[in-house]
């Protein structure tokens, strides 16, 4: 009885963790979709890995950026760049994923 309860708790902890975190591969696939389709970043930015050729904003392959700096820019925007977070265009999770994607593909 005690052992089965213990196993049950372990199972819940384990499955909660699986649901919470996407694998890096998932984030790369979902991030590409957000970049090109859901958020339309591709319409304004060049990013070779995504095959995008927009030239309203800076070429993301040639600026220096980090996952945090992308997150900041996508959340708050600047000038023509939309504030996806503040205006609830993307969820926080989508912003995390697209920032991970851009930070890991820019310049590659």
Six-digit token string for 101: 């994607």
Residues 62, 106, 35: CA angle, nearest 5 degrees:
115
1 sits near ligand HEC (criterion: CB under 6 A): no
Closer of 3 and 63 to ligand HEC (Cβ): 63
Report the alpha-carbon distance of residue 30 to residue 42 in Å, rounded: 14
Burial class for 98, CB neighbours closer than 10 Å (0-12, 13-18, 19+): buried
Closer of 15 and 51 to ligand HEC (Cβ): 51
Tally Cβ neighbours within 10 Å of residue 31.
27
- At its nearest, how many Å lie between ligand HEC and the CB of residue 20? 22
| Span near ligand HEC by CB under 6 A; candidates 4-12, 16-24, 77-85 | 77-85
The correct pick among 10, 63, 86, 92 for binding ligand HEC (CB under 6 A) is: 63
51 sits near ligand HEC (criterion: CB under 6 A): no
Residues 10-39 that bind ligand HEC (CB under 6 A): 39
């Amino acid at each position: 009885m005690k052992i089965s309860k213990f196993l049950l708790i372990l199972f819940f902890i384990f499955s909660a963790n699986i649901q919470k975190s996407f694998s890096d591969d998932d984030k790369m696939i979902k991030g590409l979709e957000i970049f090109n389709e859901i958020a339309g970043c591709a319409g304004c930015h060049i990013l070779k890995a995504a095959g995008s050729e927009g030239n309203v904003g800076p070429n993301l392959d040639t600026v220096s950026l980090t996952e945090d700096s992308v997150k900041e820019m996508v959340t708050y925007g600047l000038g023509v760049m939309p504030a996806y977070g503040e205006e609830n265009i993307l969820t926080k999770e989508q912003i995390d994923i697209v920032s991970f994607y851009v930070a890991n593909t820019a310049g590659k």
